[in-house]
A and B are shown apart, each in its own frame.
Chain A
Amino acid sequence: MNKNRQSTVSHRFVHTRREDNAGEWYALDNAAIIMPAVTDDISTRLFRFEAELDAPIDPEILKKALALTVNRMPYFNVRLRRGFFWYYFEPCKTMPSIYPDLEFPCQGWNINRHGTRMFRILWKRNRISGEFSHALTDGTGGIGFFKSLLANYLILKGVDPGARLGEGEWKDIAVSSGEMSGLAISEEFEDAYQRYFPNGLPFPDLRPHAFHLSKSCLPKGQYRIISGKLLTSEVIAEAHRRNISLTELMSAVYLDALQHIWYATNPPPREPYVSVEIPINLRQLFPSRTFRNFSLFVLISEDMRLGMRDFDELVLRTHYQMKLEYDRMSISRHLCRNAGSARNLAVRLVPLRIKDFFARVFFSKFGESMLSGFISNLGQLKMPPGFVPHILSFGFIPAPSMVTMTNASMLSWGNELIINFGSLAQSRELEQLFFRRLRSIGLHVSVSCRSDNGISED
């Protein structure tokens, strides 16, 4: 009987879709619940995917493709509403519009404004972009939606995918095929944090406050993107030569850039630690088909009081820190803390206004204050063989943050590794040190900044 009760409780937390007389609505997942409180006009928590196609975008076809995608994945077509205890998502009654692309991405879209959708699709010339709020989904969920949108667009343009979509290797591409049904579909919007909630584990240790870049900001509404392109094969060969992964190599380069900035800062910073957050896709450790948030992070830190570290030493230390932190048991401790707090009756009964206040305090004390920046690697993107010749490149832009100021995200498409730095800071020192280090270890890098000359891809 106790087991039954526990299973009912778990079911209640895992399944986000609910229904009442007015129709369906969705609860926010465990990572999303804090997002609305810490979202504002600048730190929009929007991240972006872009795809450059081989032909100019047809907006009418894009609209149809978007409608098809949203019909298949209705849990994306939602807006944020305030409840008395929690936020919730209310389905939008209309189809989402498409917008002309802007000079500065991920800006001017605040999900807290009444009626604002949790994502937007933009287009300009050959490029389609999708910006998604972290309150709705994470990188893996967002790219799933974006790839489905691209697939629908190219199919409507008469391109044959050359593979069966929605199955096997292409199961993350959800093209429209009738009504939603079955368990597999409900899994797509489950709260997987709650599904894998491990009760009774010790909480992870608190990390010290980390050093942050200087607070000289760009004017409001500006978000600078500096893109670097490398050859994936060349970077992987360099990583393998050092017996580490590509993500570890890039994180070490990031950490190296941060340690140089730390030592160059005068007067010396109060926080002695530089820390890089590496988001990890939990679906690799805990199988789930969810398109909602299901990621956590590993934090790689160095104590600057011990002195400046040699780059090779930093690479090794990053590798070993990653090995220590990135395992199912260690990650479960984070899951236990995060998912457990949302199950706590005392927390649940606190009115939303008060929760919002404490969410901001906790996020500022124990969230972004622990990291100097993050570098997110989405990995190698794949599209069905029929689509590949029509997609020239992909891009992944990190969400802006007023605390860390500059962050990076990367993905690989074909043999191209694209690293995008998104920054709200005037200084370009971090980007400069990062790419110079890549050059110094013999990697070929091509760099551009779209806001220097309008949108550079034009």
Chain B
Amino acid sequence: MSYCPECGVEIGNAKRCPLCGTLNPKACEKENAVVYSVNDQKNPEEETLPQEKPTILWEILSVTLAIAMLVLGAIDLFESRRFSWSLYAITSILFLWVELTAFFMLRKRPILRILLSVLVPPLLFVIIGYISGNQRWALGLAVPIIMLVESLGGLVYLIFEKSKKKGLNLIAYITIVAAMFCIGLEVLIDLFAIGMVVLRWSPVCAIALLSIAIFFLYLHFRVFKNADLHRLFHF
């Protein structure tokens, strides 16, 4: 039996120790030991921060937003001796805070959470309209567009919930809803701007989107049921 004089392990008939490269004393005459050294240096580094919990995160964001509102209000007051432009920013920040509260703090009260999330955006534009002294654009354009987006978002959610088999059909439904949004948007803009509906760009978008939707629906309901493409598109 041959042993490496440095490592103390048995190395059989190998010419050198596989660990340190020392020549096998039984096979050769020279030694070529690699001496291992220990370096005791330490490198103190910063601790990584622990993951923040939602409540702490909400608190930090609230304080940050409050400071931002105070600073904006103070600067505005200092410059113009009254609240002017800062009201827009402060109102927006305030509504952002309500949305954040709904997101972080109302996880266990879903109805209130949804209600807040849905009502706050149109309300924001109504108030901004009030501040600006012109409610026309807010009530005539901004609020309807927001309500359109929210209704279509709700529709997508309902479709997702009702779909028994979820697949490419969901992408198709989203595409159809996007087409509806395009048309709705142009209708609302036309009504606000010229008082009548003259569809120009939205039908082009809708046709393109609907053709994609039809393709996905075809894949989902026809091809995947019977063809070999199932394996290719499984998800």
> Which residues of A pack against B, CB within 8 Å?
18, 20-22, 25, 27, 81, 83-86, 88, 90, 205-206, 208, 226, 228, 260, 263-270, 272, 304-305, 307-308, 345, 348-349, 428-429, 431-433, 435-436, 438-440, 444-449, 452-453, 456
Contact = CB atoms under 8 A, between A and B. Distances in A.
Nearest to A435: B9
A73 to B, nearest CB: 20
A448 B227 contact: no
A226 B20 CA distance: 12
10 contacts: A22-B231, A88-B234, A90-B231, A263-B39, A268-B43, A269-B43, A428-B18, A428-B19, A432-B7, A436-B8
Interface stretch (B44-52, B88-96, B97-105, B175-183): B44-52
A440 B6 CA distance: 12
Contacts of B171: 349
Given A84-B233, A435-B19, A20 B227 contact: yes
B38 interface: yes
Contacts of A349: 170-171, 235
B232 interface: yes
Nearest to A433: B36
Contacts of B10: 444-447
B231 A448 contact: no
A21 B235 contact: no
Nearest to A444: B10
Nearest to A88: B231
B45 A264 contact: no
Interface residues of B, number: 41
B14 A453 contact: yes
B230 interface: yes
B226 interface: yes
Interface string B3-22: 01001111110111111110
Contacts of B14: 448-449, 452-453, 456
Given A436-B19, A448-B14, 14 more contacts: A18-B230, A18-B234, A20-B230, A81-B231, A83-B232, A268-B43, A269-B43, A305-B44, A345-B166, A349-B235, A428-B19, A435-B9, A445-B10, A446-B11
A234 to B, nearest CB: 13
A445 B39 contact: no
Contacts of A21: 226-228
B231 A83 contact: yes
Contacts of B160: 345
Interface in B194-235: 226-235
A457 to B, nearest CB: 11
B81 interface: no
Given A18-B234, A83-B233, A447-B10, A432 B36 contact: yes
A447 B15 CA distance: 12
A182 to B, nearest CB: 24
Contacts of B80: none
A305 B47 CA distance: 11
Contact of B234 (A83, A428, A446): A83
Contacts of B226: 21
A420 B11 CA distance: 15
A276 to B, nearest CB: 19
Given A264-B37, A448-B14, A452-B16, A304 B42 contact: yes
B18 A447 contact: yes
A84 B232 contact: yes
Contacts of B20: 428, 432
Given A349-B171, A439-B7, A20 B235 contact: no
| Interface-central residue, A88, A208, A307, A349, by most chain B CB under 10 Å | A349
4 tightest CB-CB pairs across the interface, nearest first?
A: A449-B18, A85-B235, A268-B43, A22-B228
Nearest to A83: B232
Contacts of A84: 232-233, 235
B40 interface: yes
